[in-house]
Structure 1
Amino acid sequence: TAQYNPALAPDPQSSPVQTLALFQYQPQRPPPHGGTKTRMRPPAPSLRRLLPLLLPLLLAVPGGSAYGFRNCIQSPRDPGLFRCVQRFLEAVAGAVADLPPAATALNLSHNSLRRLPPAAFARLPLLRTLDLAHNRLAGIAPGAFAGLGALATLDLAHNRLAELAEGAFAGLGNLSSLRLDRNPLATLAPGALLPLANLRRLSLRGGRLPALGPVALAVRPLPRLRLLDLCGNNLSAAPFARLCLRNLSRLRLAGNPLDVFRLLEALPNGTLAACPPLGTLDLSRNRLRRLGCVGRLLGPQQRGELRELVAEHNLLRWLSPCQAAPALRRLHNVSLRFNRILVAGPRAFADAPHLRLLRLDVNGLARLDRQALQGLRELRELRLDNNLLTDLYDGSFADLGQLRTLNLRNNRVSVLFPGAFAGLARLQTLDLGGNNLRHLAPAALQGLGGLRRLYLDRNRLQEVSAAAFAPVQASLGVLDLRANALRYISRRPRQRPPFQHLRCLYDLKLQAQQPYGLRIIPHRFFEGLTALRSLYLSQNWLLAVPADAFDDLAQLRYLTLADSSGGMGDLPAGVFKNLTSLRVLDLENVGLRSLGPEVFGNLSRLEQLQLAKNELRTLDRRLDGQLPALRYLDLRKCPLSCACANAWLPAWLGRARVQVVYLYNYSCGGGGGGRPPAYLHSFDTRVCFLDVGLYLFAGTAPAVLLLLALPLLHHRAYWRLRYHLYLLRAWANGRWRPEQRRYAYDSFVSYNSADEGWVLGELVPELERGALRLCLHHRDFSPGRAIVDNIVDAIYNSRKTVCVVSRSYLRSEWCSLEIQLASYRLFDELRDVLVLVFLEAIPDAELSAYHRMRRVLLKRTYLSWPPEPPARPLFWAKLKRALRSGYAEGEEEGEEEGEEGCGEGGPPPV
């Protein structure tokens, strides 16, 4: 392989092929994990100037809060990028119908597209990148890409295209990169690529092209083509004289059934005459067992210009020293990847003193001699990853004062001895991921005062301490501790916060701790990380997150707790209260059952919120007001319900400030019995706006008033209520009681126990001598029966009732009940059945307090017990006459007699 030196390259318009790879084809292995991270090239300056002007005008949708697309997701970072991946689309219209015309990048890969109709993307005139890989495209209609004059990159790999007809790429005048890999392409029309005047990269890898001739005719009109990849086809060694090579920088023919010698013989004279001076020597895939000193194989001029040596995918086992070999002064890059190197001996690279990049990764390197890298004072990057190194000796990197990147990933290093990194004062990136480190000693990182990125992921670290990071505390910006064995079982830390002195750290990765995750985040665990901008805590099966966990992270912009559903359930109130700068919050699959507004209290700058795969059934409507900057919301696979608690969502989702991922796919039950399922964005919310409160008030107010009134009535009118209850019972007994023709007693005597002496000593003997039958409490009531039932029976089984009235009688509730029941019989039967006997004179002031008794006394005459003995015979005669008299006659006589001499106390006061 000969690759040109850019410094000595002639005019591109006249230079022939500058790289020709003619080695046997093997499937390319993916780079090992932990390779040096590279950044994507930023958009062209013209595009960067154009997008800020066009996107606000064309992407803006009038409205208020939320929007979404049926089959695509708009990138929250780049509003012009749309991904419509794995949506089972069979037609392009299903994806582009609702996209804004300002879209600049569209990914339709991994779908089921079978054909591209004419003008399939005409409504997206600003599209610059189009990915149609991994579909089922079997044909491209002429004019399929009409209207895509700005398209620069087109990917049609992994489809079923067997031929390319003329007109298939019409309208793609600005296309610079075209991929047709892994298609059963066997026929290429001569004019198929004619419209692609600006094409620079063309990949036809893994097809079925049988010969170079048709390819030569097809690419001849492409004056700017630089890379042509024809690997893995069926190309034979037929001459390709008509293939213009002068504009190509690289031609790849690996993996074809070519005979290299016949191919070289087929080249016409002068085809490679204009090749530039040698800049790269590529000896890959030649089954070399020994490399030797390359400088001896080159002439003086070639040694002075050689900059890169590549000997990958060989069988090299040893690296021998080359002290006596001519020095390769301009050799900067050496790559010996994918070999079988076991040992690197002393001064193995002495013939390349100005080496800047050395790659020994993916070998079997078990021992690195202390002096193996001696003399490489200008080395900037050293790759030793994916080997078998177990020990790092003191002084192994002493001469590498200019080293910026050291990659030791996926080795077997278990201990970092003090002084292992001596001399690496300018090292910026140290990758120790995938080793067997269990403990990080305080002096392990000694000498790395300028370290900015430290990768310790996939080790077996069980704890980290502030002392271990003390040597790098002034410069460290990225710390990767994922997939270790860190675990905490108590919220109270066992030692001081491990990151408290890392004032410059801006990226911290702690996800996927083994075997069960962090479990619990201790209090003040992140204390001191005042500059942290990204924090990764996903896949940790968190049980509890304290409310003060993130209090010190005021500058945090990205936080992920995804896939940590260890029973957390709910986030504590105020857990994000200090994250006023947070832009992205990933809470996917953390087991959340509810999200109250107190959780998102101060996230005023949050732009992206991911809540997919949680147990959320409702969303609080106050979230919209508390997240004013929200632009991207993911609620996929959340069991949101079409309930009144979510009645605000349809109106909010119908506006256009926030992109809700797959807005129209959120169903919420229904669909039974042949009915269509209900969708969250359109369910009927009218029932939720009925005045349910009015109905509830009307139904509950009487019950509440009754419950309030019962205690008051019990306190103020207990006896009155009880009295009316007894009246009711008496009325019922009298209503359904058969009329009695014969009475058991002539009179029922109602008296108070305080007057029992007079009743038993005076009244009873006098009346019973006159052959009157009396009913008395203590003598005639049936034992065991209710007192009320005894009183009612006594009143209704007696012809009349005698009430012996005194002050004690008036104060007695039972006496009051007896006289009231007797008066009720009086009013009900309209017969003289009540006789009142006053034992003492009662003034009006005292009598007025017993208003219930006054009602009876106002309507009846009465007899008064005379204090003078001479008047008592008359009293007894009147009483007996009243008890024996007929009803109507007795009433008149009683009134007259009462007026003559028995009413000495006067009528009861009104």
Structure 2
Amino acid sequence: MGDCLDLLLGVVLLTSPALGISSCFFNGWRAVYLSCNLTQVPQVPNTTKSLLLSFNYIRTVTATSFPFLEQLQLLELGTQFTPLTISREAFRNLPNLRILDLGGSQIDFLHPDAFQGLSHLAELRLFYCGLSDAVLKDGYFRNLASLTHLDLSKNQIQSLYLHPSFRELNSLKSIDFSLNNISIVCEHELKPLQGKTLSFLSLAANHLYSSVSMDWKKCLNPFRNMVLETLDVSGNGWGVDVTRNFSNAINGSQIFSLVLTRHTMGSSFGFSNLKDPDQHTFAGLARSSMIQLDISHGHIFSLNFRVFETLQELKVLNLACNKINSILRNAFYGLDNLQVLNISHNLLGELYNYNFDGLPKVAYIDLQKNHIGIIQDETFKFLRKLNTLDLRDNALKTIYFLPSIPNIFLGGNKLVTLPNIPLTANFIQLSENRLENLNDLYFLLQVPHLQILILNQNRFSFCHQNHAPSENPSLEKLFLGENMLQLAWEAGSCWDVFKGLSHLQILYLNKNYLNFLPPGVFHHLTALRGLSLKDNRLTVLSPGDLPANLEILDISGNQLLSPDPDLFASLSAVDLTHNKFICECELSAFIHWLNQTNITIYGSPADMYCMYPNSLAGVSLYSFSTEGCEEEEVLESLKFSLFILVTVTLTLFLVVILMVKKFRGFCFICYKKALSLLFKDPIKGRESDTYKYDAYLCFSSKDFEWVQNALLKHLDVQYSPQNRFNLCFEERDFMPGENHIANIQDAVWSSRKIVCLVSRHFLRDGWCLEAFSYAQSRCLADLNGALIMVVVGSLSQFHLMKHQPIRGFVQKQQYLRWPEDLQDVDWFLNKLSQCILKEEKERKKDSAIQLQSVTTIS
């Protein structure tokens, strides 16, 4: 008690300046003068009910220190920074005082009559005051008829010889002698307390009976004819022998609750020099009517045969924080009335069918924080009254052993999957396991009578659903936070996981990495009142996403940019903090709703802030102005219309371009037909002039078949009357028997144009290269562009530049390339025809221009 008060007062003193609260004030009925550097009791009004004077420098309290304060009920004089002297009847002017706190003050002198006149005093705090045995032997507490609680902890008391006046303290219920130096307590010392009933008596941390040699027969029973509701003898270092002797000494005393924590009983792990309790250790408590026994925080390694057999009325047994590794057969024999068993924080590794035999009425078993990895199937089967089983923080990998009981705690284990076992429960806690398959969730949702299911911090991320969800009319609360439902839902599976939960009221889906909600996923949750979607990745909520009857929504910590306020119209409370709001005019409707709504908005206004644009980052939404947004909305509408128009126009243009490119051959044919319709008598050829031929086609004889099909049939008039050109080529027009050079010269000078079809065969044919040279000579002689070079095939610039005549032409003149796509052939032939028909005057003009680039026709 004293420690808690010191801590509380210290916190108040430290935080008061930071909070702007004065530690020296009076508010009408309470006077607070904490740490005000006072050296004497201040004058306060007679209406004061509480007077706090701790942490000052008051040295003396006398009968005249206080004015008459009839209404004062609480006085704190503890923790003075100077030694305190309390004179006779120092508090006589405080007749109705109920609580007097002197704890933490070093009392140099305390008059035996210091407390006289306090007939209504109920609680006296004298902890850590440096008091000796005299405070008990010399009658300091005479006439305190209403005294209920006496705190003498942390003093220098060495013996408990009580003054006979203790017999008169009929209201006394609680005495705290902890943390003194009391080594022995015998019957004659506490004789004034005989016949009394105490709710609490503490002798903790006194080295009681452990530092001296005891004559138990002479000391007798210190609690004879007393009824103790709680006796605390913790922290005295008792081993098995001292505990057994003490139990035998107090045989017959009524002690309902014995607190024996921080003991030294047990061999612990890896040792054998100390004994574990046996069936004789607590035998002396058989007639004590003990209901509760706390022997936690020790070193018990093994629960031996019938160790508690004499405690037949025991209802609560606390064995937590020992080193228990084994439970022998019949260890709990005789505990026919035990209802609560706590064996948490021990070293149990496995449980056998016989471990809990002898516990027909046990309702709660706490086994959390052991190392249990396996449990036999019938370990809990015959515990008919078992209501709650706590197996959290163990190493379980299966639950075949699990009985049908109302409350089951299995969090913090290593469960990867759940077996399909018959199970009935009201409450199941399976958080912090390794469950991955949502089929396990479908299984749990079919457990009859289940009301609360906790599955936080698992790994639910996929399912292979092989059965439809069944109706669960009992489930009210479902906790699925900190899983990975996003992975399952983005795969399109398990969207109906909540389909049968028409009575569900609370659903937690926080921290599931959700960036969308499956359509209609909450449609069947007609009774849902609270939904948590906190700390996900949702950027938008659509109409219909939320259940119709939802009242409370937590969607904080998401990435909502511009939420629609209509979504929250039916709610009574919502948390929208820590989202990524875009503070532009699109948010104006939400801002208006936020400032006008009657819905409860959870969280601090400072936690609802702009994220974008950067100029407004961190600005509270409540400070964001939407002025001018109406004009901007009109402008935005115009911008949008313009955007649509431009987009449609650009799209049509691109479509036309793509169509023309895709069907350019067909388009060219259409173009030619249109020209033929416009000009009904097109010129088939040119009028007669000095040239015998329109063009001389120079090509390798190995390319004749290709040339005939690709060019001659479409250009030469002798192949078709529809053609327009009179062409010359070696295979038909050279004079047989004539010198080949003469034929070439005649063809070159008798033709308006020379068309050289340069292919790989052409480059290997010496006559072709010779003809190309003659054609160049004519161009130089006539100063015109009579030579037309057409590259056929996949010849690169490098191949062309290897030949001197062709290199000179390529460097100065344009040349044509036969198209790779067949639909470009007609266009190419038209282009070639135009080149052949080009007028002499134009040729001369063109010849004056030095061409630097190469046009590739493809």
**TM-score, scaled relative to structure 2:** 0.55
Secondary structure, counterpart of 2:248 in structure 1: helix
State which of 583, 590, 594 in structure 1 corresponds to 2:540. Answer: 594
**Distance apart, 1:328 and its partner CA:** 1.9
- The aligned residue for residue 383 of structure 1 is 342
**Distance apart, 1:461 and its partner CA:** 1.1
The 3 A distance-change label for structure 1 pair 137 and 532 is farther
- The aligned residue for residue 452 of structure 1 is 406
Secondary structure, counterpart of 1:543 in structure 2: helix
Matched, 1:518 2:460: yes
Residue identity in the other structure for 2:501: L
Give the distance between the partners of 1:329 and 1:146, measured in 2 at CA. Answer: 50
Secondary structure, counterpart of 1:260 in structure 2: coil
Matched, 1:585 2:570: no
Q: CA RMSD in A?
A: 5.5
The 3 A distance-change label for structure 1 pair 642 and 414 is same
Secondary structure, counterpart of 1:622 in structure 2: helix
- The aligned residue for residue 548 of structure 1 is 496
State which of 421, 433, 436 in structure 2 corresponds to 1:484. Answer: 433
State which of 625, 638, 646 in structure 1 corresponds to 2:587. Answer: 646
- The aligned residue for residue 837 of structure 1 is none
**Distance apart, 1:321 and its partner CA:** 0.9
State which of 661, 665, 677 in structure 1 corresponds to 2:603. Answer: 661
- The aligned residue for residue 617 of structure 1 is 561
Residue identity in the other structure for 2:395: N
Query: C-alpha deviations, 1:583-607, integer Å up to 9, x for none?
Result: 332222222222233321x242423
Contact 1:119–1:147, Cα closer than 8 Å, also in 2: no
- The aligned residue for residue 810 of structure 1 is none
**Distance apart, 1:90 and its partner CA:** 7.0
1:164-313 counterparts in 2 under 5 A?
Answer: 207=104, 210=107, 213=110, 223=120, 225=122, 231=127, 239=135, 241-243=139-141, 246-254=145-153, 256-261=154-159, 264=161, 270=167, 272-273=192-193, 275-276=196-197, 277-279=226-228, 280-290=230-240, 291-292=243-244, 296-298=248-250, 300=252, 302=253, 305-313=254-262
Secondary structure, counterpart of 1:648 in structure 2: helix
Secondary structure, counterpart of 2:593 in structure 1: helix
Residue identity in the other structure for 1:356: K
The 3 A distance-change label for structure 1 pair 146 and 614 is farther
Secondary structure, counterpart of 1:309 in structure 2: strand
**Distance apart, 1:361 and its partner CA:** 1.4
Residue identity in the other structure for 1:537: L
The 3 A distance-change label for structure 1 pair 691 and 615 is closer
Give the distance between the partners of 1:645 and 1:703, measured in 2 at CA. Answer: 19
Matched, 1:506 2:451: yes
Matched, 1:346 2:305: yes
The 3 A distance-change label for structure 1 pair 496 and 541 is closer
**Distance apart, 1:369 and its partner CA:** 1.3
Secondary structure, counterpart of 1:497 in structure 2: helix
Contact 2:112–2:140, Cα closer than 8 Å, also in 1: no
Give the distance between the partners of 1:183 and 1:620, measured in 2 at CA. Answer: 61
Query: C-alpha deviations, 1:867-907, integer Å up to 9, x for none?
Result: xxxxxxxxxxxxxxxxxxxxxxxxxxxxxxxxxxxxxxxxx
Query: C-alpha deviations, 1:230-272, integer Å up to 9, x for none?
Result: 5566656663754575434443433x241332x6468867464
**Distance apart, 1:409 and its partner CA:** 1.4
**Distance apart, 1:180 and its partner CA:** 11
Contact 1:143–1:171, Cα closer than 8 Å, also in 2: no
**TM-score, scaled relative to structure 1:** 0.53
The 3 A distance-change label for structure 1 pair 220 and 174 is closer
The 3 A distance-change label for structure 1 pair 359 and 616 is same
The 3 A distance-change label for structure 1 pair 459 and 320 is same
Give the distance between the partners of 1:192 and 1:564, measured in 2 at CA. Answer: 64
Contact 1:478–1:507, Cα closer than 8 Å, also in 2: yes
Contact 1:395–1:422, Cα closer than 8 Å, also in 2: no
Residue identity in the other structure for 2:475: L
- The aligned residue for residue 843 of structure 1 is none
Contact 1:399–1:423, Cα closer than 8 Å, also in 2: no
Residue identity in the other structure for 2:335: L
Give the distance between the partners of 2:651 and 2:301, measured in 1 at CA. Answer: 96
Give the distance between the partners of 2:350 and 2:606, measured in 1 at CA. Answer: 57
Residue identity in the other structure for 2:506: Y
Secondary structure, counterpart of 1:559 in structure 2: strand
1:853-864 counterparts in 2 under 5 A?
Answer: none
- The aligned residue for residue 558 of structure 1 is 506
The 3 A distance-change label for structure 1 pair 120 and 295 is closer
Secondary structure, counterpart of 1:645 in structure 2: helix
1:361-400 counterparts in 2 under 5 A?
Answer: 361-400=320-359
1:381-780 counterparts in 2 under 5 A?
Answer: 381-441=340-400, 444-445=401-402, 448-449=403-404, 451-467=405-421, 470=422, 472-473=423-424, 476-488=425-437, 493=439, 497-513=442-458, 517-520=459-462, 527=470, 529-544=472-487, 545=489, 546-565=494-513, 568-600=514-546, 602-607=547-552, 609-625=553-569, 628-631=570-573, 633-654=574-595, 655-664=597-606, 666-668=608-610, 678-690=619-631, 692-693=633-634, 696-697=637-638, 700=641, 704=645, 753=680
Give the distance between the partners of 1:383 and 1:618, measured in 2 at CA. Answer: 53
Query: C-alpha deviations, 1:751-793, integer Å up to 9, x for none?
Result: 9746999xx9xxxxxxxxxxxxxxxxx9xxxx99xxxxxxxxx
**Distance apart, 1:375 and its partner CA:** 1.9
Bigger RCO (CA 8 Å, 6+ sep): 1
**Distance apart, 1:195 and its partner CA:** 9.4
Residue identity in the other structure for 1:259: I
Contact 1:119–1:146, Cα closer than 8 Å, also in 2: no
- The aligned residue for residue 731 of structure 2 is none
Secondary structure, counterpart of 2:622 in structure 1: coil
**Distance apart, 1:113 and its partner CA:** 4.7
* Unpaired segments ≥5 residues, structure 1: 1-20, 29-84, 92-110, 126-131, 716-750, 761-777, 785-910
Matched, 1:115 2:9: no
Give the distance between the partners of 1:234 and 1:288, measured in 2 at CA. Answer: 26
Contact 2:24–2:36, Cα closer than 8 Å, also in 1: no
**Distance apart, 1:522 and its partner CA:** 6.5
The 3 A distance-change label for structure 1 pair 387 and 623 is same
- The aligned residue for residue 846 of structure 2 is none
**Distance apart, 1:679 and its partner CA:** 2.6
Give the distance between the partners of 2:351 and 2:101, measured in 1 at CA. Answer: 43
Give the distance between the partners of 1:414 and 1:708, measured in 2 at CA. Answer: 72
1:68-83 counterparts in 2 under 5 A?
Answer: none
**Distance apart, 1:452 and its partner CA:** 0.9
The 3 A distance-change label for structure 1 pair 698 and 457 is closer
Secondary structure, counterpart of 1:307 in structure 2: strand
Residue identity in the other structure for 1:582: L
The 3 A distance-change label for structure 1 pair 709 and 534 is closer
The 3 A distance-change label for structure 1 pair 211 and 183 is closer
Residue identity in the other structure for 2:586: A
**Distance apart, 1:554 and its partner CA:** 2.0
Contact 2:293–2:317, Cα closer than 8 Å, also in 1: yes
1:795-874 counterparts in 2 under 5 A?
Answer: none
**Distance apart, 1:275 and its partner CA:** 3.4
Contact 1:413–1:437, Cα closer than 8 Å, also in 2: yes
Give the distance between the partners of 1:204 and 1:525, measured in 2 at CA. Answer: 70
Give the distance between the partners of 1:430 and 1:319, measured in 2 at CA. Answer: 26
